[in-house]
Structures are given as structure tokens and as C-alpha cells.
């Protein structure tokens, strides 16, 4: 006769859920030269309309992408923490 043992496995981890806006409050408003918000089409909007969990993440990202954003027609950006304007506008011209 074969004896069977019961094994207690750990619970499954929770399913990954994207962070909520409250967990990623930092964002850049993309602007034209007059300071009006810029609406980008399709893939560009998905690529540049980002939110970040920290100010450092937001600033690092803009440092890596500013020249591409300028080439896409974005003249300046303003940093927000939720609805609070932190600083800007900051020009993207070289």
C-alpha cells in the first residue's frame, strides 16, 4: 500500500494589477510654445503620456526623452504632483 501525504502549498500571489493614479501621481503636462496642452496622436500619446510613482522617476524619464519629445512637436513641459503644479514650464529646446 502506498502512503500519500498532504502538502500545504503557499497561497497564490495576488494577480498583478496596474498601479492606480493615486500610486503614480507624478506626471508631465506636454505643452505648445504658448503653454497650451498638446494632444498627441495614437502611439505617441501612449509613449509620452506617462505617470510616475516618484518625482525622481518623472525627472529621470524627462531627462531621457526630452529630445524625442521636442522632435514630436512638444515645446515645453510642466511637472505635476496629482493636481498640484510643481514647476514649469520647462523648455525642451536645446
Strand order in the sheet with 84-91: 51-52, 26-31, 76-81, 84-91
- pLDDT single digits (tens) 20-59: 666 779 999 999 999 999 988 888 888 888 899 999 999 9
The model's pTM is 0.74
pLDDT at position 22 is: 67
Task: Identify the pLDDT of residue 15.
Answer: 72
**Residue 40 pLDDT:** 86
Q: How far apart are CA 34 and CA 25, in angstroms?
A: 25
What nine digits make up the cell of 65? 526623452
Q: Are 32 and 78 in contact (CB under 8 A)?
A: no
Element (H, E) at 56: helix 55-71
Q: What percent of the chain has pLDDT over 90?
A: 57
- Higher-pLDDT residue of 31 and 4 is 31
- Higher model confidence: residue 6 or residue 47? 47
Amino acid at each position: 500500500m502506498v502512503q500519500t501525504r498532504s502538502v500545504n502549498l503557499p497561497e497564490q500571489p495576488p494577480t498583478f494589477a496596474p498601479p492606480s493614479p493615486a500610486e503614480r501621481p507624478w506626471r508631465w503636462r506636454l505643452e505648445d510654445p504658448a503653454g497650451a496642452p498638446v494632444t498627441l496622436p495614437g502611439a505617441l500619446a501612449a509613449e509620452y503620456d506617462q505617470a510616475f510613482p516618484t518625482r525622481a522617476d518623472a525627472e529621470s524619464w524627462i531627462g531621457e526623452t526630452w529630445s524625442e519629445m521636442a522632435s514630436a512637436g512638444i515645446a515645453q513641459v510642466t511637472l505635476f504632483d496629482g493636481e498640484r503644479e510643481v514647476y514649469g514650464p520647462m523648455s525642451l529646446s536645446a
